[in-house]
Structure 1
């Protein structure tokens, strides 16, 4: 990396004649600027934006998109990206079913930022209603809609999204999705000790309002 002293020497004027100094200083600056940029890049002092540009996804009918409902458990981020309430029926290719109250569908996005696989059990993710009651996913709706079945293994650097279906009372108002994640660490030292990622809160509530 070019040091401040080297930079000042590179742009030092070569003459003291009034009117010439400014022109030569400008030329020297133009000459050294590419070298400075190259040195900074080689030294890792600057990076371009490092975010994916994800194509826009079509919103399912009657679903409400959610923004900013993100939390991190261990090395995985969880985001509630959509919710639909008051669903009167779930319809699949082989069956349909009517809820006891109302179906609520929550779309969950997960991104694994670790070097190891992490597990998530869809059937342990609870829906929290405004009265504080919690509900586990409804098996009938999950099976008919072809939602994930069994523990899901999320690969290193993988991004995945799927729906969770709940059957809650007809007059219930949804409040949050309570996510129970995998707080394990990719660090060998943590794995040998059976330790979780530091300062990990688990479960966490993602607001749906």
Structure 2
């Protein structure tokens, strides 16, 4: 009888050490980010281009100026600040050319990143690179007309694959563009 209990205890210990469970693969705890003052938390819609997921997580519009430690730059219209989160699910590094990311307003017009606002806010520089298995969140700044309503972020990303089977098959993928809804 003791041998049966000892064997059961040994099996339970092995199962615990090897991580056997019915709950699926382990995941990291994801501490929430505090929404910044006046910023609207977005519902976390996600698009995928290649091996990278893009999620809009925050939006602040009608900003009259951007202030940094070294400058204060008023908007020509109003600034819109979009916080996005990128997750690289591939094995290789992927780049994002920030100059190819456009803000789309409800009237269908597109706006390029405000270089001045990005510099003053000390935003990321282009090309922006994300490593394998990395998650990064950052802000993109746009100068849009007063009264314009934000609809989406038009993302042009790297659609290439780091899967060996794709590489051996000679699959070529260049940039791809998708709209990430930001208007709820």
TM-score tier (shorter):
0.7 to 0.9
Q: Is the 8 A contact 1:117 1:154 kept in 2?
A: yes
1:123 alignment partner, SS class: helix
1:149 alignment partner, SS class: coil
Aligned position for 1:206: 180
Aligned position for 1:84: 60
Per chain length, whose mean CA-contact separation is higher, i.e. which structure has more relative contact order (CA < 8 Å, sep 6+)? 2
> For 1:94, which of 55, 70, 78 is the aligned residue?
70
Aligned position for 1:55: 31
Q: Can you give the 5+ residue segments of structure 1 that lack an aligned partner in the other structure?
A: 1-30
Aligned position for 1:128: 104
| Higher Cα radius of gyration | 1
- The count of corresponding residues between Structure 1 and Structure 2 is 176
What's the TM-score, normalizing by structure 2?
A: 0.84
Aligned position for 1:196: 173
CA–CA distance in structure 1, aligned partners of residues 84 and 140 of structure 2: 7
Over the residues paired in the alignment, what is the CA RMSD in angstroms?
Answer: 2.8
Q: Is the 8 A contact 1:190 1:196 kept in 2?
A: no
What's the TM-score, normalizing by structure 1?
A: 0.74
Q: CA deviation at 1:132?
A: 0.2
CA–CA distance in structure 1, aligned partners of residues 31 and 23 of structure 2: 23
2:158 alignment partner, SS class: coil
Aligned position for 2:89: 113
Q: Can you give the 5+ residue segments of structure 2 that lack an aligned partner in the other structure?
A: 1-6
CA–CA distance in structure 2, aligned partners of residues 143 and 172 of structure 1: 23
Q: Is the 8 A contact 1:104 1:168 kept in 2?
A: yes
Question: What does residue range 135-150 of structure 1 map to in structure 2 within 5 Å?
Answer: 135-150=111-126
Q: Is the 8 A contact 1:96 1:144 kept in 2?
A: yes
CA offsets per residue over residues 140-192 of structure 1, 9 Å max, x none? 00111100112012110001011000000001100001111111101234235
CA–CA distance in structure 1, aligned partners of residues 11 and 164 of structure 2: 40
- Greater share of strand: 2
1:203 alignment partner, SS class: strand
> For 2:162, which of 186, 203, 207 is the aligned residue?
186
